[in-house]
Amino acid sequence: MIAVSQVIATLRTTWRRGALLGLAGAALGACVADSVGAAPAPAAPAGPAWENFPVAAVGPAPDAAKKNVVVIDAGGTLTARARDRISYQHYQGNVEGGVKKILEDLYPELGAVANIKVMTAGGLGGSSGVTNAALYNVARAIDTQLARPDVDGVVVTTGTNVMEEDAYFFDLTVQSDKPVVVTGAMHQYGTFTYDAYTNLFSSIRLAASGKTTCFGTIVLLNDQFFAARDVTKTDGFRMDTFEARHYGALGVVNEDHVRVMRGTPRVMQCGTDAWKRPFDLAKTAPDKFARVDIAYGYIEASAATITGLAAAGAKGIVTAGHGPGNLSYLQQDAQKEAVKTGVLFVTTTRTGGEGVYDAAAPGIIGGGDLLPQKARILLQLGLTFSGDPEQIRAWFNTIGQAEFDLSGVHKQE
């Protein structure tokens, strides 16, 4: 039998390395309690994670005349610290108290905008460590909060590197049409150029205004807000890194002026059942998500960029081809063979512009102007909720390529 002291030492070492995180800490606490005769640690709360994320009020007592906004703290640079006040490329620790502490810095002015509660979720801060489970739990938390009659909107903080993917996942899965705004920061807390104050304040203003009801998920940074489908990060460091390619921002928040200059096509279905997307996460679990990968096209790109993904278990592959979505001659042959084995492809372009219109080719769907990383999310959800390639094709040609169509509005009598 292994001695308790050995177990404790092993768990301490593993915990420091971050491999077991809270689970190792809980196990260590139980071992220590048993060894010294203390009471065991309390059991974790029952129920799914999104129902047990802690929620705390911020600021003074709620004002019945103000809207109620829940800020979900899912991490990111917004709650990180830098090495010193000028080294925004060097991270060193996190803000004690997280988003709650940062929001408290914004009072009393924030109190004039909305009543605020903070939910601490985590999981979307370190962009390289984002998982299906984390996205799933935060999306379920958003819907759970918005289902409350006393909640008027939600703001979510995430890391910016894959924020556009986080936001598009929420856009496709959240079932409530109340405002959802995703925000973050490019520079850390304590630096001279910390941008989270204005990003948070403006995001809460936008959510409380109700002006993006039925827009789906919105991304706001640098006082501009964008549709989740269109937005992308264009630079690793600049404050104005988020853009919507050819389409531009939906609007701006300038002090107390919330200006919406254009909408998303979803507003045409506001108030109808058609507004909701078919990807209701209450009907699945993150371990059921299909595996989907991206293959990049370039000169003499190897067949292994496709055969390797298929062999590793990918159910779907998004190709980011050159020009209007073209692949190398080696990739083309590999794609044909993978289609025969049941792998479903979506063709996109690495240019970031107008791309691949669907030609109804068996096993290959045209991704239009969806960025490869956005097409991957839609394909993953499509394969998770349906095994019918033609149904998934229909989703890409409607949800994926949503556009305003007013051709039938004025009919001749």
Q: Which residue has the tokens 């703290």?
A: 73
- CA-closest candidate to residue 100, choices 122, 128, 62, 72: 72
Among this protein's residues, is 264 annotated catalytic? Answer: no
Give the per-residue SS3 of 218-258.
EEEECCEEEECCCCEECCCCCCCCEECCCCCCCEEEECCEE
What separation in angstroms does the CA of 251 have from each of 197, 292, 323, 410? Answer: 19, 33, 30, 28
Task: Please state, in angstroms and rounded to a whole number, the distance separating the CA atoms of residues 368 and 370.
Answer: 6
Tokens of 192: 């001279």
Q: Are 176 and 147 in contact (CB under 8 A)?
A: yes
Helical axes 163-173 vs 132-146, angle rounded to 10°: 50
Task: Please state, in angstroms and rounded to a whole number, the distance separating the CA atoms of residues 76 and 161.
Answer: 9
> Which residue type, as a one-letter code, is found at position 336?
K
Q: Which residue has the tokens 């929620």?
A: 55
Residues ≥6 apart with Cβ < 8 Å to 223: 198, 202, 252, 253, 254
Active-site entry in 10, 14, 77, 191: 77
Task: Please state, in angstroms and rounded to a whole number, the distance separating the CA atoms of residues 71 and 69.
Answer: 6
Residues ≥6 apart with Cβ < 8 Å to 335: 306, 317, 319, 327, 345, 364
Q: Which residue has the tokens 């958003």?
A: 142
Sheet bearing 344-349, strands edge to edge: 292-296, 316-321, 344-349, 364-366
> Which residue type, as a one-letter code, is found at position 84?
D
H or E segment and range at residue 340: helix 329-340
Q: Are 220 and 202 in contact (CB under 8 A)?
A: yes
Task: Please state, in angstroms and rounded to a whole number, the distance separating the CA atoms of residues 34 and 397.
Answer: 59
Q: Are 370 and 247 in contact (CB under 8 A)?
A: no
Catalytic residue positions, numbered: 77
